[in-house]
Structure 1
Amino acid sequence: MSNPTPRTVKCPTCSQPVVWAPESRWRPFCSERCKLIDLGAWADEAYRVPGQEPLADDLPPGADPRN
């Protein structure tokens, strides 16, 4: 029985092909560098998960709903 061709995905940062296998240490990224670039983008709030603004009833007293 032959081995199936390993699945390949694009690195989310640089679009280089990455083999999806346990041997690919940084998957889905191609390298630690690309992983850290992506982490930095999250830390800088360049990416955001969509959601609703909190309702005034959900906030503690005196909280600014814009923060």
Structure 2
Amino acid sequence: MKTLFGSAAINRKLPVNLAARLTIKADKRQRLQEKGFVEAEVHAILSAALHYFPHRERTRTTAAK
């Protein structure tokens, strides 16, 4: 709203920005999951690292890993 009314005020469609002092307070989002990895994710990441063969992939894929 601020951008819309601000643009209208700059282009002289409105005398002033009607939403200049408008604020909205939003609650913070709650985390649904703790930070870090769960055990299944850790297992998947580490087992993929064990089965890594550097010369069977494209160079870009190897660099990304």
Where on the TM-score scale, by shorter chain, does this alignment land: which range? under 0.3
TM-score w.r.t. the length of structure 2 is 0.27
Larger radius of gyration: 2
- Answer 1 or 2: which has greater strand percent: 1
TM-score w.r.t. the length of structure 1 is 0.27
